[in-house]
Structure 1
Amino acid sequence: MDKHAIVQQVIEHLGLELQAAEQAARAAHETATHEENIAENKYDTLGLEAAYLAAGQARRVEEIGLRLRVWRQLQVRPYRDDQGIRLTSLVLLADEGDQQRWLFLGPEGAAIKVQVEQCTVLVLSPDAPLGQRLLGRHIGDEVELTVAGRAQRHEIIEAY
């Protein structure tokens, strides 16, 4: 499976998310600076509220832009057994019911699913609970994760 295709889809997704955030930030800024929103008395807070919203939207644009830059600069590396699973590893897990799923460990900020070669791949960060448990592990290892008070065991079937 092509890991570069996964990275490209994440970049496209973040690009669309950035466009939407920029549009929302522009609209919030226009609302905050519109002449009708100038306070007429100390109880008239519409303009102030709009300014807070505009500031929050601007921070969101900045955060998404940063994540996008990180993903664009990502160096995709092959899995090496001597290092185990690490950032940019593509991993096939099987649970106790032999249900299999693909995971890609990427940088922070893109917990999404992508389609590559008719497979669904969950992109997660090494900071996610499952991502933390996978780091440094090898093919054949088992990882355990407690979800909603129930322990789930997964075996690492493949890694790239």
Structure 2
Amino acid sequence: MFDKTLLLQQLHEHLQDDLQLAERALQASHEAATHEQSKAENKYDTRGLEAAYLANGQQQRCLEIRQALQQLHNLQLRPVDQQGRVQLTSLVALQDAQEQCQWLWLLPMAAGTRLQQNALRVQVISPQAPLGQALLGLQEGDEVSLQREGTPRYWQVVAVC
């Protein structure tokens, strides 16, 4: 099965890599915004303004990653409760009607991140996401459904760790 401590380390490394990329992009966009070639040649020349907007977006991305790293540092992994209900930090296996299984990790940060341990893949989801909200409090054997583009999708909870 999964070792949550190793997954946390992997997630930390992933976020650190993302931060390094974002910081390099921030530096490049800042240099572009302040470069003399970005100076407007006429009132319709918006290169400098566009570069400044990009730099601002990169700065925001760096801030978000730093906040996620801080949340990760403060995160307390919760043991499975006595009833085996899905809660924050739970790893959940869902099986669809075609018996395909997917693992999800309910965390307050880094939603959308995909991790792998041995041959098993896990995707981080947020408790604010519709599926994350629907999973909270469920137990092994419960069913969950969501409407997606007008079509209902169904899964069964097959494991909670």
TM-score (norm 2): 0.89
Secondary structure of the residue aligned to 1:137 is coil
1:111-150 per-position Cα deviation (integer Å, ceiling 9, x unaligned): 1221113111121111111111100111221111222322
Cα RMSD for the two superposed structures: 1.8
Secondary structure of the residue aligned to 2:51 is helix
Q: Which amino acid aligns with 2:117?
A: V
Task: Identify which range, 43-52 or 124-133, moves more after superposition.
Answer: 43-52
Distance 1:99 1:39, change over 3 A: closer
Contact 2:85 2:136 in 1 (8 A): yes
Alignment of 1:1-150 (within 5 A): 1-82=2-83, 84-150=85-151
The runs of at least 4 consecutive aligned structure 1 residues that moved more than 4 Å come to none
Separation in 2, partners of 1:29, 1:12: 25
The alpha carbon displacement at 1:47 in A equals: 2.1
Q: Percent identity among equivalent residues?
A: 47
The alpha carbon displacement at 1:81 in A equals: 3.3
Contact 1:108 1:127 in 2 (8 A): no
Secondary structure of the residue aligned to 1:55 is helix
Separation in 2, partners of 1:59, 1:28: 13
Q: Which amino acid aligns with 1:14?
A: L
Distance 1:97 1:39, change over 3 A: closer
Contact 2:114 2:124 in 1 (8 A): yes
Q: Which amino acid aligns with 1:11?
A: H
Q: Which runs of 5+ in 2 are unaligned?
A: none
Q: Which amino acid aligns with 1:3?
A: K
Distance 1:78 1:50, change over 3 A: same
Task: Identify which range, 92-101 or 34-43, moves more after superposition.
Answer: 34-43
Contact 2:32 2:38 in 1 (8 A): yes
Separation in 1, partners of 2:141, 2:93: 11
Contact 1:81 1:138 in 2 (8 A): no
Question: How many correspondences in the alignment?
Answer: 160
TM-score (norm 1): 0.89
The alpha carbon displacement at 1:20 in A equals: 0.8
Contact 2:84 2:160 in 1 (8 A): no
Q: Which runs of 5+ in 1 are unaligned?
A: none
